[in-house]
């Protein structure tokens, strides 16, 4: 296995590129899981004023938190399909034959997931900010925090998705496993919007958390995938 | 004695905390012991069975 | 061969250790309860409520300690394919969840007289709550996978990811706490300087640790017996099939 990997090391990037392109084409053909996630996100956040009342002052206080919780839930719901779809139709077995280290495969899948699912969420977030009366200066921080934080969410979710691949009721378990792990990203994400400047200490901590996830998640998810394929 | 139980009027918080701790921990021990005994018995039964099966087969 | 030798050796060793462990645990817990309820003085600030500390702080300590134990056992299980380590990690999880529940419950009972409400999103209570969720997820993952060795490896990956995350969770929750409540609340913590509080607390902590050690041994033994049961069962089914095919 490993000798195979080192032999074809120069060809790594094209494979990764075509993996990402494949996933994006697939998600577009299936009818845009990213679109559905964004709609779900809008609906969840629109329910908040119905729950807590329409007072603008109240809404502006909880806006950033509700947007983050909405992003978290929307991406979790879509994470269910991250590996499961490939597992069910057998493509996962073919991926294992690729001269591609598994952690790189996970990274490629996560990048594609982020582009197709998280990016639409980030795109609608400012509109939801308007609906929830988010203070004007916070919009920039909101976008930046989401851009920095959502890769972390996707990466943490990829561990849970790999662990629950092929299990009965995997979707529910996936949420149960990944939600507690996502707490720091939620806290730093909301905190960085509350601090009122574009670049602040919460934002730095958010970035640090995502960077740790980049190191840990592909290895952990790769281990879990290997386990569930044998 | 009554003074000891009232705990300066905080007995309503202190005693539940202690009782809860003792009940949960002791209950956990009981549950663990019971499943241990159960497993012990099942293994003993199965082992007796397999040796019987082996002798009848041989 | 190694795989079979290990659980057997563990059964011998743990069978001999168990009476001592349970004896020490029982002694420490009874002594600790006596000191906590009868000997320790009341605090000049918190009055008698400080006594809740003697059951709250050890439970808080164990909530984290047990997860660390699970992570170490998981690493041993993954790296050396050590079946007893896998089973010990599995055996520890419900105990940790129990301690987390106790930590939260006694925290609420302490919070009511100290803060005037049952629950405050205090940093330590909040991170214990998140840790309880981690325990529940870990147990649920074990339950979801039928095949024990596969379940053990999946759970081990989760435990290791969890233990990397716990310091980050703790830090982030504290960070969040300082952002939202600028140190207006007293912490649920004892006046740890005074030896009259320190000794009962230390003995209770030791009692909790020994309690955990005893239960982990017992539950690991149960787990080994359960696996033996499983393999005996499968062997029996196989024998049954052979008999049928001969007939």
> Domain span at residue C206?
18-39+46-182+193-246
CB C48 to CB B7 under 8 A? yes
Residue C188 resides in a domain? no
Residue B52 resides in a domain? no
Residue B22 resides in a domain? yes
Residues of chain C found within 8 Å of residue B21, distances taken between Cβ atoms? 55, 59, 102, 106
pLDDT at position B56, please?
64
Q: Which residue has the tokens 């934080």?
A: A149
What's C95-116 look like in SS3?
A: HHHHHHHHHHHHHHHHHHHHHC
Residue B6 resides in a domain? no
pLDDT at position A11, please?
77
Residue B8 resides in a domain? no
CA dihedral B54→B57→C3→C6, nearest 10 degrees, is 10
Residue C13 resides in a domain? no
Give the integer Cα–Cα distance in Å for C114 and A107. Answer: 48
> Domain span at residue B23?
18-44
* Other chains touching A, judged by 3 or more CB pairs under 8 Å: C
Residue C4 resides in a domain? no
* CB proximity list for A19: less than 8 A, separation 6 or greater: A95, A100, A105, A108, A109, A112
pLDDT profile of chain A (230 residues), mean per 10:
49 86 83 81 92 87 92 90 87 87 93 93 93 88 94 95 87 91 93 83 93 95 90
C193 band by pLDDT with thresholds 50, 70 and 90: low
Residue B3 resides in a domain? no
Task: State the average pLDDT over residues C86-110.
Answer: 94
Residue C3 resides in a domain? no
DSSP C181-222: S-S-SPPS---TT-HHHHHHHHHHHHHHHHHHHHHHHHHHHH
Number of domains in chain C: 1
Name residues 9-68 of chain C within 8 A of A (Cβ). none
Distance from CA of A188 to the nearest CA of C (A): 7
pLDDT at position C27, please?
96
pLDDT at C14 over 70: yes
Q: Which of A224, A216, A192, A219 minimizes the C-alpha distance to A206?
A: A192
B29 band by pLDDT with thresholds 50, 70 and 90: very high
pLDDT at position C183, please?
44
C117 or C168, higher pLDDT? C168
pLDDT in tens, C204-221: 999 999 999 999 999 999
Residue B12 resides in a domain? no
So where are chain A's domains?
A: 2-229
B13 closest CB neighbour out of C110, C215, C236:
C110
Number of domains in chain B: 1
CB C101 to CB B24 under 8 A? yes
Q: Let me know if chains B and A touch, i.e. at least 3 Cβ pairs under 8 angstroms.
A: no
Q: ipTM, 2 decimals?
A: 0.88
């Amino acid at each position: 296995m490993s000798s195979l990997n080192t032999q074809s090391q120069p060809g790594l990037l094209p494979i990764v590129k075509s993996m990402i392109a494949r996933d994006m084409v697939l998600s577009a053909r299936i009818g845009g899981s990213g679109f559905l996630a964004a709609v779900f996100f809008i609906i969840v956040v629109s329910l908040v004023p119905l729950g807590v009342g329409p007072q603008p002052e109240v809404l502006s206080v909880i806006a950033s938190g509700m947007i983050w919780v909405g992003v978290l839930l929307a991406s979790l719901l879509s994470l269910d399909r991250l590996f499961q779809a490939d597992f069910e139709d057998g493509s996962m077995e073919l991926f294992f034959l690729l001269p591609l280290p598994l952690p790189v495969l996970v990274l490629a899948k996560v990048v594609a997931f982020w582009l197709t699912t998280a990016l639409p969420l980030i795109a609608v977030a400012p509109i939801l900010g308007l609906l929830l009366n988010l203070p004007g200066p916070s919009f920039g921080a909101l976008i930046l925090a989401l851009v920095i934080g959502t890769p972390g969410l996707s990466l943490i979710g990829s561990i849970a998705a790999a662990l629950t691949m092929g299990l009965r009721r995997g979707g529910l378990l996936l949420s149960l496993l990944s939600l507690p792990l996502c707490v720091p990203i939620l806290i730093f994400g909301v905190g960085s919007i509350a601090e009122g400047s574009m670049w602040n200490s919460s934002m730095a901590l958010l970035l640090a958390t995502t960077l740790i996830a980049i190191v840990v998640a592909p290895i952990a998810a790769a281990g879990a995938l290997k386990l569930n394929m044998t | 004695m009554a003074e000891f139980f009232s705990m300066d009027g905080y007995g309503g918080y202190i005693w539940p905390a202690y009782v809860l701790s003792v009940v949960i921990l002791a209950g956990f021990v009981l549950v663990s012991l019971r499943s241990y005994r159960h497993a012990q018995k099942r293994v003993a039964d199965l082992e007796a069975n397999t040796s019987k099966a082996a002798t009848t087969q041989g | 061969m190694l795989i079979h030798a290990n659980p057997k050796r563990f059964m011998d060793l743990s069978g001999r250790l168990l009476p001592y462990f349970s004896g020490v645990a029982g002694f420490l817990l009874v002594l600790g309860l006596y000191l906590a309820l009868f000997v320790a003085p009341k605090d000049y600030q918190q009055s008698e409520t400080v006594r809740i500390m003697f059951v709250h702080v050890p439970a808080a300590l164990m909530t984290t300690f047990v997860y660390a134990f699970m992570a170490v056992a998981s690493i041993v299980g993954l790296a050396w394919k050590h079946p007893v380590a896998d089973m010990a990690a599995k055996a520890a999880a419900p105990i940790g969840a129990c301690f987390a529940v106790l930590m939260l419950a006694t925290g609420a009972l302490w919070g009511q007289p100290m803060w005037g409400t049952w629950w405050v999103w205090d940093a330590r209570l909040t991170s214990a709550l998140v840790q309880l969720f981690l325990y529940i997820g870990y147990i649920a993952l074990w339950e979801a996978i039928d095949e024990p060795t596969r379940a053990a490896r999946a759970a081990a990956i989760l435990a290791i990811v969890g233990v990397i995350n716990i310091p980050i969770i703790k830090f982030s929750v504290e960070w969040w706490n300082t952002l939202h409540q600028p140190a207006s609340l007293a912490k649920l913590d004892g006046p740890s300087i005074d030896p009259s509080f320190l000794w009962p607390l230390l003995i209770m902590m030791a009692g909790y640790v020994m309690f955990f050690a005893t239960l982990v041994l017992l539950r690991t033994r149960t787990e080994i017996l359960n696996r033996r049961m499983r393999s005996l069962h499968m062997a029996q089914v196989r024998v049954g099939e052979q008999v049928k095919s001969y007939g």
